Structure 1
């Protein structure tokens, strides 16, 4: 096999960690017949005898392997026929091979075939219900240590058709599915599967999501699929495999190519999702017909088992182990749950850092990194579920402390916990955005606004102009801005303002000057009338046969009843031609 060597190396390292953390009870290394069959004709279970397999997660993987039409577990699958044994030993994986229930039903069109036919599948009816009961029974069996996040299913032909059904109706059960020459999802039972598929990839994706529903749809987001078929398959046309492949790509949102690879007399392609996770694998076995590709090392499976192409049990198991999205790989890292910093008083030069973390083992140490005027790094701040440690001799200023935990096997918390604190008085700055909105300025009042400064508890506002200098202390508002209204001002008078931040015994520099002029107390009125009427009312006077505005002496036109003007009295007895200013 030629696969990503780095991924394989990581997988082996993680597998070693998991094997040491989760001791497994060895099995007999033989196929044992099941007694609880739930309607199956029979079923056989293989529990590996390897005492140190390359496991991942929190226990053993479980693989359900389904035969094709006209086959049985004993005649075509177990005892090297499907070639699961070596792979099961390598990975410590339990393999279960059931035989289809005998006879036909209202939905099982052909005896000896798994009931993939048509639509209307569910987790509580037909063969899906039987397989799920089998999984539950094996999963709960004492001594097997099955990890529920590592349950997989594969199948040939009708078995492959049932696999894609189960992938969709019970995605919470299966972290990975392997479809080998299976009819496209919801293909009618009357359709000739040797002909091209009449289903589309979008139909498969839509139907799969619909089967999963709102209760189980989220599990599709952490499921992976492998599809394999022979290039010359005439029993189930390869278009069915392509439709299932592309449908699952759509269901997973995995439409980006992740490269190609080769296996024995076979070629493959991978696809990843938007998060960069491998989700779908496809293999075409060149020149192979309708068959389970058991690969070298197996024998005796009959007409529909191939031993000259890809070793699919080995390939699909490694694909599942390398790309499982549900399993917790290796030993979990510690998690910081809290941290805090406390300074005893505004004059203190020491801080006490507290922190706590959780882990599946124990916390061996905490590290504290302090940044600020007096930085420091401490890799031995404490141990155990929590710690508290004091750091002295700190200069005045703002600080941030970052805390991480290390567990008893060297795992370091991914997310650090950070906390900020202040030693000594805060170096205050003045507000930088002092403004006096025009709408707030009247003849006798001016309103100032500014954004609050961190650490300021009040502000000193200094006003000059008019009757002299006035200094006012303004408490900091609880919101993001503070306002001050200057009252008792003179009309039409220029005033200047500065603001200083005050807090913790210190006062900032002055803000930039803000100059504002109060408005006039007089209310402008305007009158439109003939020039004759304006003169008679005292708003204008006449000279040389013309009318002039009183005060501004602006010429208005002929002094008679036929010329009309608008005069605005902008101050007492003073008139301008035109409207009042707005």
Structure 2
């Protein structure tokens, strides 16, 4: 089930004639089929093997909305639904369909156990020759458009037809369905509380076929800020709250390389204003899957990465009747390892409890004990069971002191910062974070100037020697003394200048 089958080279500049309505979509699908534009996520397009287990009973729903993405909607209703049940949207991988994903993923087991509704969205060969969600097509990945809008309409229909709780809406998917999960979380963060991306890619990674290949392998490296801006641009003006995100990836995935898990982590931690270092790590399941969690200020996992060892591209399942077992492996891209659906259901908070924070309570009594022009002193109350503490400045962890006092140094004069503290147990697991305190260093903010070396010298911020300019005080070599070389100089303290081309507060 490859993410993209290599197409035959197209005629340069060629483009199929435009058609309108459903005919246009079918014509485009035929073109995709003919040119093998199969955006699938797996080693090969494999026909499903015969299933030896009982099929999950799905209800097909029609007329759920205008359906601009021409998708099919199927619903699984548990025998004993909860009052005001949650709804989980499930998105299959390429070459799969709703029934196959329902039969093998194991999600229905937990819908029965906890009483939530399942909505299986399904694409067809009319949309994509290999039945892949078009996660790379701009017409299908924008708010209010195409397949993304169809999925939103399915949720709205479930709210009205099945009385599901709008505040408990979740989405998960494999491969191309995982990539479309990224799309729905970015375009409808006001709808989905959380999502789980299995073997997928970050939102906004690709906008056409060639870039989709690059996203798959070797992957695309962007800064966390750049990835996060892509999410914010998908819904301008929305300021949160943002969906919580779980990222599942096999560490031997040859098609959608594991680097994508890191880029997804970078995207969503930055959206949540968190750093990229995990606050809590553990191992879960029979195969010792590595779980890395990034905690919100409340101590719950805002973003987590689950790295499944020794598997390739597919949904991790663990066939059996145990409480933490699920799924079937009778078809391609469902891999025996760990029951990901059990842990995803738990991450969503659908296992009968809210998402669990760390075991230790938040420190209290966090106070600022003093400031200088370059430092802030802090103190907090001890927490029983804590062996150390994690100190966060402006949302990023800066230190792990063993005691209940710390002095943050190396700051710039006249700058403001926020601080929170979390207790850590002997295994390094962090509990809930404290309330936020603010502090401002003494003195005036650093003064900065951007000018040519000639003008810096004329203004007295630099000196000359042997045809070169030198920053006054630090004596840093600024290059040739002329009007063509430009630098930013920061003055701190008075009369002492340093080069600050990378940024100056």
Q: Taking structure 2 as the reference length, what is the TM-score of the superposition?
A: 0.52
Structure number with larger C-alpha Rg: 1
CA contact (8 A) 1:66 1:154 kept: yes
CA contact (8 A) 1:184 1:199 kept: no
Structure 1 residues 269, 324: closer, same or farther in 2, change over 3 A? farther
- Aligned Cα RMSD in Å? 2.6
Structure 2 Cα separation of the partners of residues 320 and 274 of structure 1: 18
Cα distance, 1:35 vs. partner? 2.4
Q: Pairwise mapping of residues 401-550 of structure 1 onto structure 2 (< 5 A)?
A: none
> Match for residue 168 of structure 2?
150
Structure 1 residues 301, 132: closer, same or farther in 2, change over 3 A? farther
CA contact (8 A) 1:77 1:301 kept: no
Q: Pairwise mapping of residues 73-152 of structure 1 onto structure 2 (< 5 A)?
A: 73-74=98-99, 76-78=100-102, 80-104=103-127, 111-117=130-136, 121-141=141-161, 144-152=162-170
Structure 2 Cα separation of the partners of residues 325 and 91 of structure 1: 10
> Match for residue 315 of structure 1?
343
> Match for residue 466 of structure 1?
none
CA contact (8 A) 1:254 1:271 kept: yes
Cα distance, 1:118 vs. partner? 5.6
Structure 1 residues 300, 280: closer, same or farther in 2, change over 3 A? same
Cα distance, 1:45 vs. partner? 0.9
Structure 1 residues 195, 294: closer, same or farther in 2, change over 3 A? same
CA contact (8 A) 2:71 2:150 kept: no
CA contact (8 A) 1:70 1:112 kept: yes
Secondary structure of the corresponding residue to residue 187 of structure 1: coil
> Match for residue 12 of structure 1?
none
CA contact (8 A) 2:74 2:119 kept: yes
Pick aligned residue for 1:171 from 189, 198, 203: 189
Structure 1 Cα separation of the partners of residues 221 and 159 of structure 2: 35
Structure 1 window deviating more from structure 2 (176-185 vs 314-323): it is 314-323
CA contact (8 A) 2:281 2:290 kept: no
Higher relative contact order (CA 8 A, sep 6+): 2
> Match for residue 32 of structure 1?
59
Secondary structure of the corresponding residue to residue 148 of structure 2: helix
Structure 1 residues 139, 114: closer, same or farther in 2, change over 3 A? same
> Match for residue 79 of structure 2?
49
Structure 1 residues 177, 301: closer, same or farther in 2, change over 3 A? farther
Structure 2 Cα separation of the partners of residues 198 and 324 of structure 1: 38
CA contact (8 A) 1:41 1:102 kept: no
Structure 1 residues 275, 83: closer, same or farther in 2, change over 3 A? closer
Structure 1 Cα separation of the partners of residues 305 and 118 of structure 2: 22
> Match for residue 459 of structure 1?
none
Structure 2 Cα separation of the partners of residues 324 and 162 of structure 1: 27
Structure 2 Cα separation of the partners of residues 41 and 320 of structure 1: 25
CA contact (8 A) 2:114 2:351 kept: no
Cα distance, 1:304 vs. partner? 0.9
User: Residue 230 in 1 paired to residue 250 in 2?
Assistant: yes
Structure 1 Cα separation of the partners of residues 76 and 281 of structure 2: 34
Q: Which structure 2 residue ranges, 5 or more long, are not aligned?
A: 1-55, 321-326, 356-505
> Match for residue 264 of structure 1?
286
Structure 1 residues 299, 322: closer, same or farther in 2, change over 3 A? closer
Q: CA offsets, 1:229-265, max 9 Å, x none?
A: 1111112111112101221011012335133232231
Secondary structure of the corresponding residue to residue 98 of structure 1: strand
* Between structures 1 and 2, the one with greater strand share: 1
Cα distance, 1:212 vs. partner? 2.5
CA contact (8 A) 2:114 2:350 kept: no
